[in-house]
Amino acid sequence: MALLEVENLQTHFRTPEGINRAVDGVSFHVNEGETLAIVGESGCGKSVTSMSLMRLIAEPPGKIAGSIRFQGKDLLQLSEREMRAIRGNDISMIFQEPMTSLNPVLTVGRQIGETLRMHQGLDKQAAEARAIEMLTLVGIPEPVRRVREYPHQLSGGMRQRVMIAMALACNPKLLIADEPTTALDVTIQAQILQLMLDLKRRVGAAIVLITHDLGVVAEIAERVMVMYAGRKVEEAPVAELFRSPRHPYTQGLLGAVPKLGSSLTGAARRLAEIPGQVPSLKGRIEGCVFAGRCTLATDLCRQVAPGLEEKGPRHIAACHYARKEAAAA
């Protein structure tokens, strides 16, 4: 049994102009000790997916449907009180925007300590000592001083690391990391990725990693799920996905990654874009969600939505024309 099994997750928002189908029927699983990366265009539903796992979507205007089984229990059936015992303890999350997720009027020590006192029953001193230890682990210099500082006194990258310290403090079984390293320099980033791998080794934690940084994906993920316009469009083991992406969106995404050194050799300095934009999520999309931007689109694509199909070993994609390996047929 997988640690986390998500089936047909649908998270919709009611807005004055209609229903926004931010996540529209997504299924996936994560095994114990595994790292699943979720990638996809801005606005495709990655953060809403992860907030749904934590049940942190405000209802209304949001509405979550489907099932989210964690260690066999459906989180969507739990009471808010039962959910609070899990959040920050068994499942914890590193949020995308640290400044908004940290409390501006509490010192960082208090914020890290609060989780520990609530879930692990540590007293004030023990919680502060553990907070200092966590700040050291995430590479914040002078942790003894920093633990008494407020978020606005820290640099952007330090705030992000405070969030990471909070998320790791209780040794969660499942860590959801939403853009955990965007504000970090590459050296600290390497250190944080190492910490996440340590957590996996020590407590067999599973990680759901959301990131736009395909370098990070290549470095620590085992499997990758690609989302587009609220749906899953491709999923494969990491090496397989980078070597042989099947969905035209994934191909465009990988093709657009700038590599260090690639702009220095004469060639044009314009970055590669995927032309066009994501369709509006209001109103049902007939046919393939990518058809409006796909160079291969045909009438079939515009009329019939392609289902997720096996295209190779453990490799699925939703495209009528994606290449299929004989072995998978």
Partner 1 sequence: MSSPLLQVNDLKKHFPVRGGVFSRKSNWVYAVDGVSFEVERGETLSLVGESGCGKSTVGRAILRLFDITGGQVVLDGQRIDDLSPGGLRSMRRRVQVVFQDPFSSLNPRMRVRDILAEPIRNFGLAKSAAELEAKVAALIDTVRLPRDALGRRPHEFSGGQRQRIGIARALAAEPELIVCDEAVSALDVSVKAQIVNLLQDLQREFGLALLFISHDLAIVEHMTHRVAVMYLGKIVEMAGRQQIFTAPRHPYTKALLSAVPVPEPGAIRNPIILKGDVPSPINPPSGCRFHTRCPFVFDRCRTEEPELRSIEGGRWVACHLEALPGQN
Ligand X SMILES: Nc1ncnc2c1ncn2[C@@H]1O[C@H](COP(=O)(O)OP(=O)(O)OP(=O)(O)O)[C@@H](O)[C@H]1O
- Is 15 among the residues that bind ligand X (CB under 6 A)? yes
Q: Minimum distance from CB of 160 to ligand X (Å)?
A: 8
What is the DSSP track for 185-209?
A: -HHHHHHHHHHHHHHHHHH--EEEE
x/- string (CB under 8 A) for partner 1, residues 167-206?
------------x--xxxxxxxxx----------------
Give the Cα separation of 214 and 256 in Å (integer). 11
Structure tokens at 28: 């996936």
79 touches which of ligand SF4, partner 1, ligand X, none (CB within 5 to 8 A by kind)? none
Cite the beta strand spans of 238-292 per DSSP E: none
- Is 47 among the residues that bind Mg ion (CB under 5 A)? yes
Contacts of 112 (CB under 8 A, 6+ apart): 127, 130, 131, 134, 135, 147, 162, 165, 166, 169
Q: Return the number of the residue (42 or 79) whose C-beta is nearest ligand X.
A: 42
**Could you tell me whether strands 4-15 and 62-70 are parallel, antiparallel, or unpaired per DSSP bridges?**
antiparallel
Q: Which residues pair with 6 in a beta bridge?
A: 28, 68
x/- string (CB under 6 A) for ligand X, residues 178-217?
-----x----------------------------------
- Is 301 among the residues that bind ligand SF4 (CB under 6 A)? yes
Give the Cα separation of 281 and 228 in Å (integer). 11
x/- string (CB under 6 A) for ligand SF4, residues 252-291?
------------------------------------x-xx
Residue nearest to ligand X (CB): 157
Contact footprint for ligand X (CB under 6 A): 13, 15, 20, 22, 40, 42-48, 61, 96, 152-158, 183, 281
